[in-house]
């Protein structure tokens, strides 16, 4: 049960990322009714895609990521096209998340430090890189902790929003912008990069059978949370919503509550960075077999094996590249 909870945390932490900040803005433009419709339809469609994706990984014996699957089922050209898409897309997403993280860290630490946003982002990047190097086991535990922090701080922020909530601030429908939320909501629901990492996290066959349940539970958490978050923000700010959402709350909430909102935003970015970074690293190791990343992976396996042997438990065969290198 505890391992299932960690797996759900990995998936939720991956899905809830920077996309959450754009949802209130686009739904304010289109109206609540189209927004609810998109969450209902796209939530179901994306869940099906995740389930299909998970089934493919469970039925594929080789350890690979999406480019490896493309090579296996589509050939070399499929691998090349998917590899370019994955590497460019994830690298761009990670870069954007790090830039945002630097801005949030600057807000949080400005009373205590004179470091710039870029310097703080670099420190944050080093910390995230170390955790990515440690692998899915440590990341799963961190994701569980950060999910608790994120939902706790979000609950406090939403609670203080209630006193400012005004139902008249919610627009029902705007035909001219009815299609505006489509891309933002679709992006905010996607978490496919977490699926192979969760498959690796589940070691045994009985555990791997819980993958479907993991994705369903994660979707059941994220979609209602997005709706509650959006309704609360729009009920407070109304038409005065900014594209980043957080700056719109400043006139309505106290500095301490805004501090918690920024902390929640930083935590959800960290969650996404950890899983996306791990997926990208494993893509280089499993699908491209790049020497530098294989060496890093080997060192990780050596570290685990060394700790395992110190405990007198024999050889640790949980990390294949340690024994294949």
- How far are the Cα atoms of 37, 62, 80, 185 from residue 71, in angstroms, in the given order? 36, 12, 8, 30
Q: Report the alpha-carbon distance of residue 118 to residue 127 in Å, rounded.
A: 14
Task: Find the CATH number of the domain harbouring 146.
Answer: 1.20.1740.10
Q: Give me the sign of the Cα torsion angle 286, 288, 291, 296.
A: negative
Q: What is the DSSP letter of 253?
A: S
Residue 189 and residue 13: Cα distance in Å, rounded? 11
- Whether residues 87 and 203 share a domain: the answer is yes
Do 176 and 302 sit in the same domain of this protein? no
Could you tell me where the DSSP H helices lie in 163-254?
A: 181-189, 194-201, 205-208, 211-237, 246-249
Residue 179 structural domain: 2-284
**What mean pLDDT comes out for the span 91-112?**
90
Task: Find the range with the poorest average confidence among 147-156, 265-274, 304-313.
Answer: 304-313
Question: How many residues does the structure list for the chain?
Answer: 325
Read out DSSP for 264-306? HHHHHHHHHHHHHHHHHHHIIIIII--HHHHHHHHHHHHHHHH
- Mean pLDDT in residue range 82-95: 92
The count of domains in the chain is 2
CA distance 215 to 289: 29
Assign 311 a pLDDT band (cuts: 50, 70, 90): low
**pTM recorded for the entire structure:** 0.85
Say if residue 41 is in the same domain as residue 167. Answer: yes
CA–CA separation, 38 and 59 (whole Å):
31
Angle of helix 181-189 versus helix 211-237 axis, rounded to 10? 140
Verify that 17 and 166 share a domain, yes or no.
yes
279 and 313 in one domain? no
What's the CA gap between 190 and 212, in Å, rounded? 15
Q: What is the mean pLDDT of the chain?
A: 86
pLDDT above 50 for 314: no
Angle at 5 between CA 303 and CA 212, to 5 degrees: 100
Asked if residue 258 has pLDDT above 50, the reply is yes
Band of the pLDDT at 243, cuts 50, 70, 90? confident
Kindly indicate the confidence band of residue 317, based on its pLDDT and cuts at 50, 70 and 90: very low
At residue 48 the predicted structure's pLDDT band, cuts being 50, 70 and 90, is very high
299 with 211, same domain: the answer is no
Q: Which residues contact 197 (CB under 8 A, 6 or more apart)?
A: 10, 136, 139, 275, 278, 279, 282
Query: Is residue 323 predicted with pLDDT exceeding 50?
Result: no
Residues 273 and 294 in one domain: no
* Pair of tokens at residue 138: 């440590």
**217 and 131 fall within a common domain:** yes
Same domain, 128 and 181: yes
Whether residues 168 and 90 share a domain: the answer is yes
Rounded to an integer, what is the distance from CA 230 to the centroid of its chain? 18
Q: Do residue 109 and residue 125 come from a single domain?
A: yes
Rg from Cα positions in the chain = 21
Same domain, 257 and 300: no
Number of Cβ within 10 Å of residue 269's Cβ equals 25
Tell me what percent of the residues of the chain surpass a pLDDT of 90: 51
d(CA 162, CA 302): 52
């Amino acid at each position: 049960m505890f391992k299932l909870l960690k797996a759900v945390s990995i998936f939720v932490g991956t899905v809830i990322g920077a996309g959450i900040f754009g949802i209130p803005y686009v739904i304010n433009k289109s109206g609540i009714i189209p927004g609810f419709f998109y969450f209902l339809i796209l939530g179901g469609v994306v869940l099906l895609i995740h389930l299909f994706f998970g089934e493919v990984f469970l039925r594929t014996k080789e350890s690979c990521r999406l480019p490896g699957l493309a090579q296996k089922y589509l050939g070399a050209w499929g691998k090349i096209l998917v590899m370019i898409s994955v590497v460019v897309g994830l690298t761009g997403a990670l870069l954007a998340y790090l830039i945002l993280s630097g801005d949030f860290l600057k807000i949080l630490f400005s009373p205590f430090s004179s470091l710039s946003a870029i310097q703080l982002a670099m420190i944050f990047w080093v910390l995230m890189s170390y955790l990515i190097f440690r692998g899915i086991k440590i990341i799963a535990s961190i994701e569980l902790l950060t999910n608790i922090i994120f939902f706790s701080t979000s609950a406090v922020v939403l609670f203080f929003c209630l006193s400012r909530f005004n139902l008249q601030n919610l627009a029902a429908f705007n035909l001219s912008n009815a299609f505006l939320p489509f891309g933002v909501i679709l992006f905010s629901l996607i978490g496919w990069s977490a699926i192979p990492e969760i498959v690796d996290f589940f070691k045994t066959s009985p555990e791997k059978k819980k993958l479907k349940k993991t994705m369903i539970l994660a979707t059941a958490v994220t979609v209602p949370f997005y709706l509650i978050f959006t309704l609360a923000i729009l009920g407070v700010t109304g038409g005065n919503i900014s594209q980043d959402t957080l700056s719109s709350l400043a006139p309505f909430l106290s500095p301490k509550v805004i501090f918690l909102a920024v902390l929640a935003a930083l935590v959800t970015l960290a969650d996404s960075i950890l899983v996306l970074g791990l997926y990208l690293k494993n893509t280089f190791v499993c699908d491209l077999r790049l020497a530098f990343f294989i060496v890093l992976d080997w060192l990780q396996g050596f570290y685990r094996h060394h700790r395992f042997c110190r405990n007198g438990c024999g050889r640790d065969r949980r990390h294949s590249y340690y024994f294949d290198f």
